[in-house]
Chains A and B, each alone.
Chain A
Amino acid sequence: MADAPPTRPLSARRPSMREAGNDPLSASLATSPIQPPRPTSARSASGIHAPRPVSAGQGRPPGSRGNTQPSRGNTQSPSSMSPASSIGSLPYRPSTGSLSTLLTNTRDSSLGLLSSLTERSPRGSGGSTPTGPGAVLGSTLTSTINPSASASLPSDAFQASHPSHPALPPDPRTTLLRSFAPHIAVLASEDTQALLARKGLRGGLLQLIRPFGERVPGRVTIRDSVGASRAWADFGVRFVGLGERGGGGDVRGVEEEVERAVQGLEARGEGDDGGALWNAFLRRVLREQPLGPAETFAHPVACVVAISSGNGAPIESLRRLYAATNEGQRVPAWVDNEYLRYYVLVHDEDGHDIAKSTALYEQMKRHFGLHCHLLRVRSAVCVASDDDGVPLPSCEWGGDEGVDDDEGDEDSPPPYIFESDITALSTFIRSLITQSLLPSMERNTAIWNEQIATRRRGLSGRLMSLSKRWNPLASTARAGSPAPTTSNYDPATGYYKPGSPEALMRRLADWAFLLRDFKLAGSVYELVRADAEADRAWAHLGAACEMSAVCTLLLNTPTTATSTPSSTTTPNAPFEPLVTSLLFSAKKSPALAALPRTLETALHTYTQRTGTPLSALRTILLTSELLATRPDASADEAPLLLARALEMGLGSVGGALVAERVAGMYAARPGMGAGLGGETGLGGKGLGMRKRKGGFWAWRAAEGWVALGVVGRGVEMLRALEGYGVEWEGIVEGLEGLRLKLGDGEMEEGEGEEGEVEVEVSQALQIGHRRGRSRAGVGVGAAVGVTEVERGVGEGEGFE
Chain B
Amino acid sequence: MSFYFAIIGTKDNPIFTHEFGTSKAGGDGLSRFRDDQRHLNQFIVHSSLDIVEEVQWGSGAMYLKALDRFQNNHISAFLTGANIKFILLSNPDTHAPARTTSTSSNRASTYAAYNPTSPAVEEATKNFFLEVYDAWVKTVMNPFYQLNAPVRSPVFRARVAAAAKKFL
Contacts and interface: CB of A to CB of B under 8 A. Distances in A.
Interface of A: 565-575, 580, 679-683, 687-693, 695-697, 699, 725, 727-731, 733-734, 737, 778-782
A692 B116 contact: no
B67 A571 contact: yes
A725 B116 CA distance: 27
Given A565-B58, A692-B50, A779-B14, 10 more contacts: A566-B54, A571-B55, A681-B9, A681-B12, A689-B50, A692-B49, A693-B50, A693-B51, A725-B46, A737-B39
Interface in B41-56: 41-44, 46-51, 53-55
Contacts of A781: 13-14
13 contacts: A567-B58, A571-B65, A572-B65, A573-B67, A575-B66, A681-B12, A692-B47, A699-B43, A725-B43, A728-B46, A731-B46, A734-B42, A779-B15
A681 B44 contact: no
Given A571-B64, A727-B13, A696 B46 contact: yes
Contact of A569 (B41, B44, B49, B67): B67
B44 A696 contact: yes
B117 A574 contact: yes
Contacts of A688: 54
Contacts of A782: 13
B110 interface: no
Q: Among A697, A728, A734, which residue has the most Cβ atoms of chain B within 10 A? A: A728
Nearest to A731: B42
Contact of B57 (A687, A725, A778): A687
B91 to A, nearest CB: 15
Interface in B8-28: 9-15
A574 B65 CA distance: 11
B165 interface: no
A323 B153 CA distance: 87
B83 interface: yes
Given A575-B66, A575-B116, A687-B53, A680 B14 contact: no
Nearest to A577: B115
A687 B70 CA distance: 21
Nearest to B74: A575
Contact of A730 (B43, B53, B65): B43
B38 interface: yes
A734 B39 contact: yes
B150 interface: yes
A730 B38 contact: yes
Considering residues B38, B47, B58, B150, which has the most beta carbons from chain A within 10 angstroms of its beta carbon? Answer: B47
B117 A573 contact: yes
B61 interface: yes
A737 B38 CA distance: 13
B18 to A, nearest CB: 13
B157 interface: no
Contacts of A690: 50
Contacts of B150: 779-780
A729 B70 CA distance: 20
Interface of B: 9-15, 38-44, 46-51, 53-55, 57-59, 61, 63-70, 83, 115-117, 147-148, 150
Which 8 interchain pairs have the tightest Cβ spacing?
A: A730-B42, A734-B39, A696-B47, A567-B58, A727-B13, A575-B117, A779-B13, A681-B10
Given A680-B10, A681-B53, A687-B54, A571 B61 contact: yes
A142 B13 CA distance: 65
A729 B150 CA distance: 13
Contacts of B48: 692
B8 to A, nearest CB: 8
A680 B64 CA distance: 17
A569 B51 contact: yes
A695 B46 CA distance: 9
A368 to B, nearest CB: 60
Contact of B43 (A568, A570, A731): A731
A575 B43 CA distance: 22
Given A570-B58, A580-B69, A680-B83, A778 B11 contact: yes
Query: Max chain B CB contacts within 10 Å: which of A570, A573, A730?
Result: A730
B11 A691 contact: no
A566 B50 CA distance: 12
A265 B150 CA distance: 46
> Which of A571, A679, A729, A737 is the most central at the interface, judged by chain B CB atoms within 10 Å of its CB?
A571
A731 B39 contact: yes
A781 B51 CA distance: 23
A571 B46 contact: no
Nearest to A780: B150
A571 to B, nearest CB: 5
Contacts of A565: 58
Given A570-B58, A680-B83, A728 B42 contact: yes
Residue with the greatest number of chain A CB neighbours at <10 A, chosen from B10, B46, B55: B46
A252 B63 CA distance: 44
B36 to A, nearest CB: 9
Contact of B12 (A689, A725, A730): A725
Contact of B148 (A682, A730, A731, A779): A779
B14 A728 contact: yes
B59 A571 contact: yes
Contacts of B116: 575
A580 to B, nearest CB: 7
A781 B8 CA distance: 12
Nearest to B66: A575
B47 A695 contact: yes
Contacts of A692: 12, 46-50
A690 B50 CA distance: 6
Given A566-B54, A574-B117, A727 B61 contact: no
A445 B50 CA distance: 48
Contacts of A731: 39, 42-43, 46
A125 B44 CA distance: 50
Contacts of A699: 43
Contact of B42 (A571, A693, A725): A725
A575 B115 CA distance: 8
Contacts of A780: 150
B125 to A, nearest CB: 12
Nearest to B77: A571
A133 to B, nearest CB: 52
A720 to B, nearest CB: 14
Contacts of B15: 779
Contacts of B47: 692-693, 695-697
A566 to B, nearest CB: 6
Contacts of B69: 580
Q: Which of A565, A573, A691 has the most CB of B within 10 A?
A: A573
B21 to A, nearest CB: 18
A782 B57 CA distance: 29
Nearest to A666: B50
B114 to A, nearest CB: 10
A779 B6 CA distance: 14
A693 B46 CA distance: 8
B66 to A, nearest CB: 6
Nearest to B6: A728
A616 B114 CA distance: 26
B66 A573 contact: yes
Contacts of A570: 55, 58-59
A666 to B, nearest CB: 8
Nearest to A669: B50
A176 to B, nearest CB: 28
A688 B50 CA distance: 7
A727 B43 contact: no
A687 B51 CA distance: 10
Best-surrounded residue of B9, B50, B117, B147 (most CB of chain A within 10 A): B50
